[in-house]
Amino acid sequence: MKSWRIKTAIDERLLLAYLLVLTAGLIGVYSASSILADSRFGSHWYFLRQQALWAALSVLCVWVINRLDLQRLAVYTVPALFITFVLLCVVFLMPTRNGSHRWLFVGPFTLQPSELFKFLVIYYLAFSLANPKRNLSRWQQLVFPYAPIVGVGMLLMILEPDLGAVVVMILSVVGMFFAAGARLKHLALAVVPPALLGSLVVFVIGYKRERVLDYLAAISDPLHGSYQVKQAVLTFGSGGLFGTGLGDGRQKLFFLPYPHTDFILATIGEEIGFIGLIVVLGVMFYMLWRGCRIALQQPDRFGFLLAAGMTWSLFVNIAVNIGVVTAILPVTGRALPFLSYGGSSLLMSSAAIGVLINLSRRVVK
């Protein structure tokens, strides 16, 4: 086993890219939400103030995580997961929002326990799969103890309902097992039960059936899809190469639903154009590339799996949101990390960056 030490220097390039994207997110949230905020709350700054507070907490979270001993704290992930199960149950006692029980309301703040659950599952899997006694060539060791822990969380998310979070969770977990060396045939078989359950929920019970049918219609022609998809396509198209100008977008004038949350990418694309959008997304994918480098440079299996898991989870969330906004995937209600308005997504995405920055300090002696 390689010996390693903690160095003082961190991955400054990753930190700089994170701060740039965080700043771009604040600008984008204000531009996309100012008119909506004024009409609902009488202040252009309402959503920006909320997001700026979450951004400050997120930066603090990155700083705190960077100072922790992640390997020593990993033993507490199991009790932390059980606490998260309780939070996922408490959401059913909270008022509904858009027909779902996904949020905890704590004064003026809202928290989404599913985001915390996703983060903790990756942390737990990295710790558990790094155990040298774990034999992933046996399918039984993929089922127990992972299936009950992950399965209970996903069941609670289905009941909320939040099928988009379940899809992201499945992809994140499968990616973790693949990085740990699980056999492809075992992973393929593991995906079958969730896929069957999802088909049952959508096509038999009827949850989001219309949304899926709208997506199928949009495959041949995006303008035949749902209202959200059509408006997103029109928003992207109106931006052209260089955009209409920051703050001058028209689709956010109550045409595009959720212009500052789920569909903020379309709003940004309209105002800064294709070229500007490539720059913003380029910085985001540069962060993912730095995460991959950090994973490959880890001196032990735990560090590799934790860095790879956090990077892969961020990629899945980013890819799913981009797929939805560009009509490649059905609407899932997933926020775009770092850019969309929403405290839980921003905080937990920043926590993943904090983990990567922490692991960037581990070097072989």
DSSP letter, residue 36: H
Question: Which two tokens mark 317?
Answer: 């969330």
Can you tell me whether residue 345 is helix, strand or coil? helix
pLDDT of residue 246: 85
pLDDT at 224: 65
Q: How does residue 364 score in pLDDT terms, banded at 50, 70 and 90?
A: low
pLDDT value at 206 more than 60: no
Phi, psi of 31 (to 5 degrees): -60, -40
The whole-angstrom separation of Cα 353 and Cα 17 is: 10
Mean pLDDT of 304-324: 94
Judge whether residue 223 has pLDDT over 70: no
Cα 55 from Cα 42, distance rounded (Å)? 23
Helix (H) or strand (E) holding 329: none
Helix (H) or strand (E) holding 28: helix 12-41
**Domain positions in the chain:** 4-364
Left (φ > 0), alpha (ψ -120 to 50) or beta: where does 110 sit?
beta
Q: Could you read off the pLDDT of 153-162 as tens digits, one per residue?
A: 888 888 887 8
Q: CA 241, CA 274: separation in Å to the nearest integer?
A: 5
- Say which residue, 82 or 191, is predicted with more confidence: 82
Q: What average pLDDT does the segment 95-104 reach?
A: 78
- Based on DSSP, count helices (H) and strands (E) in the chain, helices before strands: 14, 4
- Residue of 47 and 216 predicted with greater confidence: 47
* Cα(322)–Cα(19) distance, integer angstroms: 21
Average pLDDT, the chain: 85
